[in-house]
Amino acid sequence: MKKLLNFKMTKKQILISSSILVTASFVLNKLIGYHYVTIALMLLTALIAGLPILKRAIVSARYLVVGIDALVSIAVIGAIIIQEYWEAAAVTFLFMLGDYLESRTIEKTRSSIRSLLDLSPDTARIKRGDEEVIVSPDEVVMHDLVVIRPGEKIPVDGKVIEGSAYINQSAITGESMPIFKELNDSVFSGTIIESGYLIVEAEKVGEDTTFARILHMVEDAADKKAKTQKFLERFSKYYTPAIILMSIIFYFITKDIRLALTLLVISCPGALVISAPVSIVAGIGNGAKKGVLVKGGDIMEKLGTVKVIAFDKTGTLTTGQPRVTRVKSFQLSEEKVLEIAAAGEAYSEHPLAKAIINRAKEGNEGNSNTINRAEESTIITGQGISFTYEDKDYLIGNRKLLNEKGINYQDLEQYIQDEESKGQTLVILADKSEVIGIISIADAVRQESLSLVSDLKKKGIKKTVMLTGDNGLAAKEIARQTGMDDYYFELLPEDKVNALNELSTKYGRTAMVGDGVNDAPALASADLGIAIGHLGADVAMETADVVLMSENIDSLSYAIGLSRATVFNMKQNIYFALAVSAFLLAGVLFKKVNLSLGMLIHELSVFLVVVNAVRLLGYKERRKKV
């Protein structure tokens, strides 16, 4: 007996042998009836398919867990005792077959997440002295020089110190457009070089890389339960013992052992318990592949029911990098104005100065200009700079500077006001006596932000607002361009939190979308915090409930659609499972469903629920027709 118990077969072997046996006994039963050969075959099926079930039941009984294994075991043993050999064989076979099919299909629902894990780099080629050695990515240490060739994965986060390359970052951002990287650019682990060649100095390695952290977040997200799921688990905790009790009571009242055993088999609402988690994991997997990380089932449920979405301005709706939008020149050419202005600003770290220098560098027709520096320059705090360039004196700065230095700009007043009302910040360049140029600078709206509001409105979002720390004029212009319903300006971080609370009580569930630069408190306190990805912005990534990995804010409407599809799929599963449970219970009580049929329906319903969830992996945004 002991030897028999230790006799091991693989799951596949069990599946194949019991399939043959169960078919043989079925055919024999039709041909020669309940002959002892038939009975022997049936018992053998029950033994081969049932032994692993019984073993698991015994082990779990030791830990006081009554699972479906125990119930099926009791039912099968009962069936053998009352000489229902065919039922015993059929039930064990179906249970095992169902188990096998379910684990295969469940594997499928998790495949998106699994495939993400497979993207982890396996090897790293590092420079030690003059030699290149291949090591495991875990062995790379900070400041190692890593060499990456076309087709290879970057194994660390770091900075390019030599070479240039086109990099596919889709593993992280979900965007397949390759991005050009050169000297001093940051590159990330898990991304792939499509063409080119890089030497990268490692800054973050192993578990600290952005990619590793994203993987951990996705894994943890997959197991954060949805509210519905918790409810279902509570429900089945009572459902199973209740049916078992019912089965015992029925047995004592009716003495109908068949009925009692059948009740045991259907008492585990397998499809119901599994209905929510399979949908959630498939939904999260789908998102993760497209660069939308939803951190758990509960978030998935919330995201689809958001009423108001609040946006941070700088870096979220806009690119976050001020650019020169217009150069107005008097006397000199635009080129010359920019050249002088850049020379004056050459020593400044101010974002406006950077915008001017960048524009001056761009030059005309793609030639990049070199920047000359002022021979002498003095910073006038809060106003600008006075400097000498090519032996002439200049002033560059704001209106206060002109007033201070007594330079007349009366006739330009109208132009200045017009530009400012369009949200432009102006930098004025003057020589000793008069204004020679006015440079308009603004933080440009992202292309995708323009269609954002109409997309969200189509998804049924009631209200979109913008929260910004910037001044009213700049805020108004961006709000106008993007079509926001409302905008709040000159907000301090705590004002953003208050504004969110207000919106939430007034209109319902409110989400905050930000890049985390100065809106971390808002992201944390909103009903739902959505961080828009700047790779490496770790704090925002960790506090937010949803992370959009790519900078493309389009993925917000995808995330909302996905969340709704996931919740819808979950509900389909739940209602279906409930209906099956009710149907089975009624069927058994009215004696229309026997042991093997009960098992068949049970297993089939679990299978269908999983297959339904697998459909979610193929969820795509219906793109608007252009």
* Binding stretches for another protein (CB under 8 A): 52, 55-56, 59-60, 63-65, 67-68, 99, 102-103, 106-107, 110, 113, 219, 222-223, 233, 268, 270, 273-274, 277, 280-281
Q: How far is the CB of 115 from another protein (least distance, A)?
A: 13
DSSP, res 375: S
**Shortest approach of another protein to residue 492 CB, angstroms?**
40
Distance (Å, whole) CA 581 – CA 592: 14
Closest contact distance (angstroms) between CB of 101 and another protein is 10
By beta-carbon proximity to another protein, the closer residue of 545 and 551 is 545
Q: Which is nearer to another protein, 63 or 590 (CB)?
A: 63
Indicate the pairing of strand 510-514 with strand 392-397: unpaired
Nearest residue (CB) to another protein, 273 versus 595: 273
Residue 52 vs 196, nearer CB to another protein: 52
Out of 157, 298, 312, 545, pick the active-site residue: 312
Q: Residues 315, 444: contact at Cβ < 8 Å?
A: no
Residue closer to another protein by CB (options 374, 570) is 570
Rounded (10°) angle between helices 555-589 and 227-254: 0
Sign of the four-CA dihedral 11, 17, 18, 19: positive
Q: Nearer Cβ to another protein, position 106 or 324?
A: 106
If the CB atoms of residues 68 and 593 are measured against another protein, the closer one turns out to be 68
Instruction: For another protein, give the closer residue by CB, 316 or 566.
Output: 566
Place of tokens 């800054």: 203
Residue 216 CB, nearest approach to another protein (Å): 10
State the DSSP string of 72-123.
Answer: HHHHHHHHHHTT-HHHHHHHHHHHHHHHHHHHHHHHHHTHHHHHHHTTS---
Looking at the Cβ atoms of 55 and 620, the one nearer to another protein is: 55
Spatial separation of the C-alpha atoms in residues 359 and 355, rounded to whole Å:
6
Q: Where are the alpha helices (DSSP H) in 410-482?
A: 413-421, 449-458, 472-482
Angle at 171 between CA 170 and CA 177, to 5 degrees: 10
Q: How far is the CB of 612 from another protein (least distance, A)?
A: 16
- Residues 107-128, buried b or exposed e (16+ Cβ, 10 A)? ebbbbbbeebeebbbeebbbee
DSSP string covering 498-558, please?
HHHHHHHHHHS-EEEEE-SSS-HHHHHHSSEEEEEP-TT-HHHHHH-SEEE-SS-TTHHHH
Quote the CA–CA distance of 213 and 515 in Å, as a whole number.
18
Would you state the structure tokens that stand for residue 445, as one six-digit string?
Answer: 């709206």
Query: Which residues are paired to 532 by β-bridges?
Result: 548
Q: How far is the CB of 272 from another protein (least distance, A)?
A: 10
DSSP helix/strand/coil, 199: strand
Give least dist CB 54 to another protein, A.
11
Query: For the range 490-497, what are the long-range contacts, defined as Cβ-Cβ under 8 Å and sequence gap of 24 or more?
Result: 491/467, 493/469, 493/518, 493/519, 493/520, 493/521, 493/522, 494/521, 496/310, 496/312, 496/467, 496/521, 496/522, 497/521, 497/522, 497/525
Is residue 312 part of the annotated active site? The answer reads: yes
Least separation in angstroms between residue 55's CB and another protein is 7
Minimum CB–partner distance for residue 57 and another protein (Å): 10
- Cβ 108 to another protein, closest distance in Å? 10
What CA–CA distance (Å, rounded) separates 425 from 440?
Answer: 6
* Strand 318-329 with 308-312, pairing: unpaired
Name the helix (H) or strand (E) containing 310.
Answer: strand 308-312
Give the C-alpha separation, 533 to 311, whole Å: 14
Instruction: Give the 3-state secondary structure of residue 371.
Output: coil
User: Which residues are identified as catalytic?
Assistant: 312
